[in-house]
Amino acid sequence: MTAKHVAIIMDGNGRWAKKRLLPRSAGHRAGLKRMISLSGHAFDVGVERLTLYALSEENLLRPKEEVDGLFDLFREYFPAQHSELKEHGIRLCVIGNRALLPADICERIDEAEAATRDCTRGTLCLALAYSGRGEIERAANLAVRGGRELTREEFSGLLSVPPVDFLIRTGGEMRLSDFLLYESAYAELYFTKKLFPDFTNGDLDRALKEFSLRDRRFGRVRS
Ligand code: FPP
């Protein structure tokens, strides 16, 4: 079975830079380049939706210089990047708390989402200023306002992405760090010590191969 919805916690940029005696910003730049190459590759090998954790709500509490550097990287690569996505038929969507993002970044996101809206080959979803708990809380508040109990299907529909098949975390830590908590209920988990800038397209292929060998039972027994 192939993984249709793959999510990646892109961890290890800082350590990658430190090992090379470079500033953390160099690690993020290397991470962004890797992210772009990996995204192109994932859709070539049959992934339909790729959700990438680029910035958590808590990451915004890092030193201002680092956070501003990440936004500058985003400004540098978008909108040039969105023309490329469109060319390859990839729809871009951004999830997370936009109220925490600078206004010009939100404008770029709106433009990129609008420009790629009709693309159908795949969906690249970037999580920026994202919190899995925050997302569940927002959905719960919406549900309460509706004034009646929702079915699981209806509640899931209030979240920003569908269920995750395969969740990869680079960088050696084994935790979810508030990423897609509800959507990963039955995700297969894959942890690698490779730092994100070192996680090659071949590494993704190997991870996807491992996914294809997993026995997904969703809590049931094989008949
Ligand atoms: C975690 O590594 C990575 C981040 C907080 C940023 C991830 C960003 C990218 C891959 C570049 C894409 C950027 C944008 C804006 C789209 P870390 O810094 O926590 O690494 P460490 O654990 O080694 O310190």
> Is ligand 1 within 6 A of the CB of residue 10?
yes
> Is ligand 1 within 6 A of the CB of residue 73?
yes
pLDDT for residue 189? 98
What mean pLDDT, rounded, does the chain reach?
Answer: 95
- Per-residue pLDDT tens digits for 23-57: 999 999 999 999 999 999 999 999 999 999 999 99
Q: Check whether 181 has a pLDDT greater than 90.
A: yes
Residue ranges covered by each domain of the chain? 7-212
Which of 8, 9, 11 should be mutated for ligand 1, with most atoms under 8 A from CB?
Answer: 11
Nearest to 50 by CA among 84, 94, 86: 94
Which residue is closest in CA terms to ligand 1's atom 5?
55
The pTM for the full model equals 0.96
CATH superfamily of 7-212: Decaprenyl diphosphate synthase-like (3.40.1180.10)
Q: What would the two tokens of residue 97 be?
A: 């708390």
pLDDT for residue 223? 65
